[in-house]
Structure 1
Amino acid sequence: MCYTKCAEFIGTILMSLSLTCVTLNILAFFPDWDPKYLTEGQLTVFVHWLPGIVGGGLMVFLPSLYFVAMEGKDCCGCFGYKDCGRRCVMLTSVVPAAIGLLGAFYCIIISVLSILKGPKCLDVSGEWNYPFATVRSYITNPRLWGVCVEPKNITQFHLLMFFLLVGFGVLEIAFLILQVVNGAVGGLCGYYCNKTKMLIVAAALLILERDTPYKCCQSENCSKKYMSLLSIIFSVLGIAFSGYCLVISALGLVQGPYCRTLNGWEYVFEDTTGSFLRDPSTWSQCLEPAHVVEWNIILFSILITLSGLQVIISLIKVIIELRKLLCTTYSVIIQPGII
């Protein structure tokens, strides 16, 4: 019964992730570990929207309980047909997984909006406001953080809490998508497995490419399609992470290095929209570190090239596996001991 075992494993991980999101959201209510900012209403509005408590927390925790409790359930046996009832359970697990996905996306969206707007703090003018609401570059420019006088280190605290919520939300989405596939295949292809328990092999695509995949369905056709589905999911995740690296590297290349000029430490090429890349005569504006412009260009160009190749390879992998999934028919081999 590898499908329910897999669901139980996924549910256990999701429970841990959801409780972590709840904890992070609660901690966000107490910057500088002082409750007065909560009682005085001096917190960012996005904390009160409860991205970690409701989105990444409750809306993920409840489906995870369902996944953990699926073992042995049979939907009242589908009028006496036990195998049909168990397939029904697997199919119905897609619904709570979809609810969990909505919660995880809510957590990510609200957390990203909070990061972009920045923290609410007492600024150098003595007013409580959002000093970084129109300054997106504050995220990568620590010298601006001194604008916030109170709470102490609020910018670092704010970024840490909400970046962690984004990260855990992404992990929740990955495992919930895996459960959607697990539930759909378990419901459509069959419930039983052979006596050897299935290992979760999606961590490495090389393992998924084995010529003799695990027989987790009643036919070789279903088993190979199941492995192709897993390959597609993790290839898409690879595209997402490689795409993130590609975008951030491109932004770093266009923005230019952070260096010391005659006016102090700054991003001297920030407003050139990348035109400095074609004009080496301007690179001498950076006095320190030595050759930092060339260093910045070389490193980010390499990252862009490698992440671009990763995206292309992952896309090719998705196309190949989709072709296998949609166009290939395998011979049906009934496993002994199933009937």
Structure 2
Amino acid sequence: MPKMLPEESEIARLLPSEGIALGPLHVCARQWTDAQEGIVFSVMLGTIRCEIWLLESDWQAWCEGMIGSSAPEFIDTGLLFGIAEWGLSPLIAASGAEMRRSMSRPIRCSLLPDQIALTFSWQVEHYQFHTLLFNWPTTYFQTIAKQVLPRVRPVRLLPPITFACYVGWCLVSLSELRNISVGIGLRIQAFGDLRGGECVLLLSAGIVARVCMASEEHMKINELVQDVESLLQEERDNTDCLQSLTVDVNELPQKLLVEVGQVDISLGALRSLSEGDLLPAEAQFSSEVKLRLNGRVIGLGELIGCGDSFLVRISHWYLNSAEQPQIQEDTVNT
């Protein structure tokens, strides 16, 4: 089997992995790992004689489907020429080549294994054709190159990382948790100016970013906080005499984090994150907020604002009153 031209090899290298469409033809760089039997047809491109190698299984299926046999000794020469010209017509028309009756009959030719070749494929009457071109003039491949080279190969970017977006927390006791039901409102202690688009993202290992959603496509990093607990500070008990202090377990406070949506940030932006950055970010906010306890969603609700105060009106409540919530600081499951 003749070797490919350098121009053909260069096109094969530059093609995207999925190939390209050239009218009715599909052109791709295909790796042939096994020796394949094929049929070679001679055509004329201008004054140059060149060859088309067609996968034998394609030729056999085409002939048997159209005329009932693929054995050349049993097929009339004129009929064989016509059936070949019909099957190869998309390539012949696209290239401007010509099949002549005076040329030799098609011959068998094996393809060398383990090679990458520029493969032309198409379909006629639901039959597939896969071909290679040999001894074609460089001008033909230069014409193809003009349609391939301007194409920008797709950059395979890593997908963005999604982070949950929190606007604050609700402080409730264990006894209050057991009595919450649909319709009840819980007051929010906000992380910042909700109306101004301020919220927090838990990034990793307890690191929190205070952010401001400048728009639906951009986010500003106001502050990076190393300790998430510093955002959930509450008034400490200042009682001097601890011996006289009694604690009712049912009154121990639990923090329900209020999640309002998600923000997608590219990995590249995360690697160089610093305060004051204005990042491209895709934000997705929901009409219902989620209430999380120890990372688990225990309810959904509607965010309601009145001046600078906000509350969550419960619309769905998933916490079974028989369950005993664990007494521990809330962590966020992103």
TM-score bracket for the superposition, by shorter chain length: under 0.3
Highest Rg: 1 or 2?
A: 2
- Structure holding more helix per residue: 1
TM-score, normalised on structure 2? 0.19
- Structure holding more strand per residue: 2
